[in-house]
Chain A
Amino acid sequence: MKELDGTEYVSFYESGKKGFIGWITSTDHKRIGLLYFYSLTAFFLTAVMLGLVMRLELLTPEGNLVEPQTYNGIFTLHGVMMIFLFVIPGIPAVFGNIAMPIMIGAKDVAFPRLNLMSWYMYVAGAFIALSTLVVGELPDTGWTFYAPYSVEMGNNVILAALAAFILGFSSILTGLNFLTTIHRLRAPGMKWFDMPLFAWALYATGWIQLLATPVVGITLLMLVAEKALGVGLFDPALGGDPVLYQHLFWIYSHPAVYIMVLPGMGVVSEIIPVFAKRKIFGYKAIAYSSLAIAFVGYFVWGHHMYTSGMSGPARVIFSVLTFLVAIPSAIKVFNWLATLYKGSIDLGAPLLYTLGFIFLFLIGGLTGLVNGALAADIHLHDTYFVVGHFHYVMFGGTGYAFFAAMHYWFPKITGRVYSQSAAKTAFWVQFVGFNMLYFPMLILGMMGMPRRYYSYLPEFEFWNQVSTLGSWVMVAGLLAMFGILARAWNHGERVGRNPWGGLTLEWTVESPPTLFNFAKIPVVSHGPYDYDKIDMTQPEEARA
């Protein structure tokens, strides 16, 4: 590989073994990150296709495309794949792996072999989850596997639950690895509050992965034991308590929402200062609010269960805590906006996706508060409002942050850059399609359309058709985005080390980096966002 000035060097693509076997046996964090990227993208696109089929079925009120049972199977698989194979591993597994060790000045993660094992577990879990497509009947419980329905039905819940268990442990081991890496491998001179905010976000996420995921793991094992042995842990017919299952499930699965969104917030905190060339506003507030979200996020799980038969006081407490967790999220949003204020903004594709994140996440967050309010939730529970809300948060939040990260670190990973105008066009197509697809769901929910049905009453037809039309626009935008990036991967314009003018450490090394990232471990002398102290008009060497 050659740098822009013609210097020859050996990038991580060229170091180590070549070919498929060389890649799947490599413990290099960048290769593992790319392995995750390829597999995640494949599963994401598969799950998108399943979503398209659902929307196509809902084009007309009558059920005329797929059988009702197939529809139930499709939305379950769509949920399981999107949640466990894309959104949860998502940003940490791909961009945490590729960028975080370089950002803190390390040569690799703390446990490189464990890192590779996490990917193997991810792939194993994915194959088990997908095997439900060909072995027996599709599970039809939704991704939550609620008892007693999941216990009493004879289909493939065992396989799907085992897949989720294995994927959970893959996620735990990634979290463990990142926590140890951040504790032990920061470059000399980098104190905790000199860390890039993306590392902070991954640190908070690591703790949630470590402390919440095993709970759902054991719960799913109990479910498997209950089904396999025919005993009654959650089945009320045998003296079990199905509400207890819901509690245990959401003790993990609500904090999991923050596993999904915190790394995305970290990405946003990186991109905004770089594209506004302005020091991040409220660094400590953003760092602490990550920890606050991780902490408070543990105690809000009950808001999924307002209608499940909890006591009144419990519901009120969970509702109050739910409102509390919105505060640290809002702190972040205000800090990001304050960073943009009076910055010299370069509206590149990464920033555009970031602004898309803020806009969509805002809608997702605010509709979340509507769901978190007791009285409103009784009306909206299990309607399309909930579906609209979590797609705004999961896709508009995490998904857009994932795309922003993809555009932001693309030059670092490939050494090339895509066409800005093409990338921005793809963004706008996607963004318009996104809102056409999901905003009608909020309206339909208000009108009272229940979720998870393959047909609906005629009065819901108009907004459903808008939504289905939106799904086509959005998928066109998605495909355009991936197509543009795939083309630029081989044919894009070659760039140097620091195309965006970032101050974090990954922009000081070659694009693409060498096997050990740094020829010499850097000594950190300035903060990650010190645009106020550094004259960006000077060439890199003259700045220090």
Chain B
Amino acid sequence: MAQAAELHLTEAHAEHDEHRDDIGSKLGMWFFLFTEILLFGGLFIVYSVYRFKHAEAFATASAELDVFIGTINTLVLITSSMTVAMSISAIQRKKPRLAINLLWFTIFCAGVFMFNKYFEWGHKFDHGIYPGSSIFPGGSTAREAWQVTPSEVFAPAEGMFFVLYYLMTGLHGLHVIIGSIFIIVIIAKIKRGTQSHDNFAQHENAGLYWHLVDLIWIYLFPLMYLI
């Protein structure tokens, strides 16, 4: 009896030998997501503190952003999150072709998102809203310019808003790119058959990561564009 139990336990443990521990792999991903949330958390704290201190300046600066593009991007990202979730259901139901198409659609959404972001950023750069420009507070030349003609430059707190805007949406954009690469790797793995209906932990992990990217945007959107 005891021997049988021992045998059973050793067999259960044998799973680890072939480096197939789906629960462990997902657990690791969750731990990583906690770290990611705290990484963004630092920026959110700085945003909250300065928003509290300079509420009006933040409101003025935030009015420069285009709520329409922001809303489109929010919808695009939420849709992409949905298609990732659907692709996992598809692979579980042994429909790898459908799963791949859904993942490509996710990549397409990511592309649309980044395309919009590119034009948003570019538009602001054209108007001189970037660190180091003549109307932006900060930098050695700008600092002097600011002292000479204060009316044409942003208030420091408005500059702060845009610095945080660039840092937060920039770091988020970087995550969109990393997430897309992750998803493309998964597409390749499904094609090769290394991710399939009975082995989809990495696929799920890519999905989890993508949901985090989506989730962070859902907080960034109101903080930057709406309030």
Footprint of B on A, CB under 8 Å?
A: 106-107, 110-111, 114, 172, 176-177, 179-180, 183-185, 187-189, 210-215, 217-219, 222, 225, 229-233, 237-241, 244, 248, 520-521, 523
Contact = CB atoms under 8 A, between A and B. Distances in A.
A222 B27 contact: no
B17 A210 contact: no
A188 B163 CA distance: 53
B160 interface: yes
Contact of A184 (B23, B34, B49): B23
Given A230-B131, A232-B159, A238-B156, A110 B21 contact: yes
A241 B52 CA distance: 13
Contact of A222 (B13, B54, B138, B167): B167
B139 A230 contact: yes
Q: Categorize the interface residue count of chain B.
A: 35 or more
Interface in B156-214: 156-157, 159-160, 163-164, 167
Contacts of A114: 28
B98 to A, nearest CB: 30
18 contacts: A176-B28, A176-B32, A180-B27, A211-B35, A214-B35, A214-B36, A214-B39, A214-B42, A215-B39, A222-B43, A229-B138, A229-B163, A230-B131, A232-B138, A232-B159, A239-B160, A521-B10, A523-B6
B46 A233 contact: yes
A222 B131 CA distance: 14
Given A215-B42, A217-B39, A180 B163 contact: no
A210 B34 contact: yes
Contact of A521 (B13, B43, B140, B167): B13
B66 to A, nearest CB: 22
Given A215-B39, A239-B137, 5 more contacts: A172-B35, A184-B23, A225-B163, A230-B142, A239-B160
B212 to A, nearest CB: 13
Contacts of A184: 16, 21, 23-24, 27
A219 B46 CA distance: 9
B31 interface: yes
Given A110-B21, A176-B35, A232 B16 contact: no
Contacts of A521: 10, 13-14
A320 to B, nearest CB: 23
Contacts of A523: 6, 9-10
The 9 A-B residue pairs whose C-beta atoms are closest, nearest first, are A239-B156, A188-B9, A218-B42, A230-B139, A214-B39, A184-B24, A229-B131, A214-B38, A231-B131
A158 to B, nearest CB: 15
Nearest to B7: A523
B28, B45, B49, B131: residue with the most chain A Cβ atoms closer than 10 Å: B28
A57 B152 CA distance: 52
Contact of B138 (A183, A188, A230): A230
Contact of B16 (A107, A240, A244): A107
A184 B26 CA distance: 11
A129 to B, nearest CB: 21
B125 interface: no
